[in-house]
Amino acid sequence: MINRKQQPHITDPIHLPLQLPAAETFTLSNGVQVYAVKAGAQEVVQLELVFDAGNWYEQKNIVAASTNFLLKNGTRHKTAFQLNEQVEMYGAYLNRACYFERASVSLHSLSKFLPQLLPLLVEVLSESVFPEEEIHIYRQNMQQRLSVNLKKPDFVANRLIDAYVFGEQHPYGKYSHLSDYDALTRNEILQFFQQYYQNGQCTVFIAGNLPNNIEALLNHSIGQLPLNGTALVKPEYSIQPAAQKKYFVLNDDNGVQAAIRLALPFPNRHHPDFLKAQLLNTVLGGYFGSRLMSNIREDKGYTYGIHSYIQAFQQQSVWMVSTEAGRQVSEAAIEETYKEMLKLQQQPIDEAELSLVKNFLIGTLLGDIDGPFHIIERWKNYVLNNMPMNYFDITVQNIKSTTAEELQQLAKKYLNPENFYELQVV
């Protein structure tokens, strides 16, 4: 019997053994690689097909995102309504998303309905027709949504800061204009669909309580598509950052709040500083107890929340500080942010704070391996970014072994205020 008068032993997360469960791999008859995690007590499954079909590959702005969005808006045999009705009949969820290098189509379903839903997914990927009336509705909706969002300082700041860091012609820096939707044509969408979906490069990730014959099911459906198992040749783009570092954009004459972005170009995940920089970033502004939150939110009261994060793209990353503050105190908030960066350069982080942050990050990793969907997300991140298969172990080891002196040297190397792009949008 448990002795309720005796406090149970508490183990800090940093002392727990962590291991990322393995993913099974197999190749379909068309050369498509599949990564599968069979786990979980619930009879559910998540299937995601990831294509090299992000805006990196488009010849004209918004074509990649528009193609991806309109995938479930009609095939040769079904209207958009019929497609959605059939998915909902099985209690499933068919979604799509478009990013910089890649785009995805995902299916969430009860395991027992996967055989019925796979043919529908294949139909979407092979027979989508992109009706003119659906494109017209999409165009109107997106223009209306963009018009509304352009009045929001936070939205405008997110658009502009990447353009300053990478250049508006670079895939990481370009953004949509209202005129882009007027110029969008069905032929452009069809051509992109044929090249990058019907005959594109694809990787499959599946997780959950999988049927025993999952390999045969996928081979009989996705394995019959004319997909390309080899990587596509990526277009080359050069980064053209803005010469100026500081910007103030007046978006609303009567605006009382400023959206603030501070951005530093930073290497990608393959750089030896990347993992240690994640630890340093957590101290700076990566969790609720961070130095930026303690100073600018709790002490000064300039904002409800301020965060820093490393926005990791495949080719390059950006170290970003993001907040919204009152218009009258936005300059002061920026000044205090830079002060916190300089403190990290001048003084090593004390042992108690470093231990707290390390435990927080290990606890986050524990959450990331809780359940099959989280596990496959980790594997997807590693596979698509060409990381070594032991990258999870490398991450844990870096968190546990990094010293305060190493973080101080990183702060001196990267957290220099004069190197940050600074943007305020009111």
Q: Is the pLDDT of residue 224 over 80?
A: yes
The residues facing 24 across adjacent strands are 36
pLDDT tens sequence across 157-193 = 999 999 999 999 999 999 999 999 999 999 999 999 9
Buried b vs exposed e over 139-158: b needs ≥16 C-beta within 10 Å?
beebbeebeeeeeebbbbbb
For residue 263, the model assigns a pLDDT of 98
Q: Residue 20 pLDDT more than 90? A: yes
Task: Read off the pLDDT of residues 187-200 as tens digits, 9 standing for 90 and up.
Answer: 999 999 999 999 99
Percentage of residues of the chain with pLDDT beyond 90: 90
Fold agreement (24-224, 246-425)? yes
Indicate if the pLDDT at residue 231 is higher than 80. Answer: no
d(CA 198, CA 226): 7
With 90 as the cut, is the pLDDT of residue 1 above it? no
Q: What is the pLDDT of residue 4?
A: 86
Mean pLDDT taken over the chain = 94
Query: Following CA atoms 368, 374, 379, 384 in sequence, which dihedral angle do they give, to the nearest 10 degrees?
Result: -100
The model's confidence at residue 230, banded by pLDDT at 50, 70 and 90, is low
Tell whether the model's pLDDT for residue 353 goes beyond 70.
yes
Please say whether the structural domain 24-224 has been given the CATH code 3.40.50.1820.
no
The CATH code that applies to domain 246-425 is 3.30.830.10
Q: What pLDDT, on a 0 to 100 scale, did the predictor assign at position 229?
A: 55
CA distance 318 to 162: 9
% pLDDT > 70, the chain: 99
The verdict on pTM exceeding 0.85 is yes
User: What residues does each domain of the chain span?
Assistant: 24-224, 246-425
Rounded distance, CA 229 to CA 339, Å?
Answer: 50
Q: Is 170 exposed, middle or buried (0-12, 13-18, 19+ CB in 10 A)?
A: buried
